[in-house]
Structure 1
Amino acid sequence: MAYTLSTQVPLPYTDAIEAVRAALSDQGFGILTEIDVRATFNQKLGPEAGDAVGDYIILGACNPSLASRALAAEPEMGALLPCNVVVRRAPGAEATTIEAIDPQTMVQLSSSGHVQEVADDAGTRLRAALAAVSSR
């Protein structure tokens, strides 16, 4: 089962991060958290581990109105929030990969029609954000 929405872009890593931030914002998402995986690996595991993973950031994106609807339908959905969006570029890669959690994974854990509606809306918005970055 695929659990991410994904695209690759020829943008440099830092440019891709800024493009992703802008595209998510255009779709009503804010960034609540940011995890620099490479820096964390460097600090906790050593530079070899950081170099092996390459440039890698996890952005915790949240659209407040979608989150509110999901939590109203099922408060347990908070365990799946925010929506993680990854921007990564492996050592030697010619493209930067952007991946977002596919909101339909939430639906597989819930029987609520309201959760399905939220997942559909979130998926549409995340796909639009990825398409916007891909078209740059």
Structure 2
Amino acid sequence: MSYYFSKKLHVTFEKAMSRVIEELRLEGFGILTEIDVTETLKRKLNVDFPNYTILGACNPPFAYRALQAEPNIGLMLPCNVVIRELADGEIEVSAVDPLASMQAIQNEELQIIAKEIQEKLKKAIDNS
């Protein structure tokens, strides 16, 4: 089982970002964090790196259910979504597979929640 799923887009990086954020919103996710890896690496290491952003996406009702089922699950939240520019100029959008992430935790209720979140994340990525 892969730990993520992804899709390539034939749009600009900026357009991919806006599409992904909108599709996540339609599935009930808000963006808690937005890390511009490209800018951070330039500022901290003075290196050039292709466009790469990590979005921390959260669906509050699912986060609440997960926290009730497993109080320490916050260690694995939020769901990370990566938008990155590939060498050929294409844009790849990837999301962590919550079902794969939860395999390490022996909690049946959490597996059920992870499956539901997986479906919503996949739909958001597929529709981007």
2:80 paired with 1:84: yes
Q: Structure 1 stretch 2-11 or stretch 92-101: which is displaced more?
A: 92-101
Give me the whole-angstrom Cα distance separating, in 1, the residues matched to 2:69 and 2:122: 23
Match of 2:89 in 1: 94
Give me the whole-angstrom Cα distance separating, in 2, the residues matched to 1:95 and 1:76: 37
Give me the whole-angstrom Cα distance separating, in 1, the residues matched to 2:100 and 2:75: 13
Q: Deviations over 1:110-135 (max 9, x none)?
A: 111110111000000001001111xx
TM-score, normalisation: structure 2? 0.96
Give me the whole-angstrom Cα distance separating, in 2, the residues matched to 1:59 and 1:107: 19
Gaps in structure 2 of 5+ consecutive residues = none
2:63 paired with 1:67: yes
Letter in 2 for 1:119: A
TM-score, normalisation: structure 1? 0.90
Give me the whole-angstrom Cα distance separating, in 1, the residues matched to 2:9 and 2:95: 14
Q: How does 1:94-113 map to 2 (within 5 A)?
A: 94-113=89-108
Q: Deviations over 1:10-35 (max 9, x none)?
A: 01100000000000000000000010
Aligned-partner SS, 1:35: strand
Match of 2:24 in 1: 24
Report how many aligned residue pairs link the two structures.
128
Aligned-partner SS, 2:89: coil
Question: What's the RMSD between the two structures over aligned residues?
Answer: 1.0
Give me the whole-angstrom Cα distance separating, in 1, the residues matched to 2:15 and 2:110: 33
Structure 1 contact 106–115 (Cα < 8 Å) conserved: no
2:45 paired with 1:56: no
Residue 93 of structure 1 deviates from its aligned partner by 2.1
Give me the whole-angstrom Cα distance separating, in 1, the residues matched to 2:101 and 2:44: 31
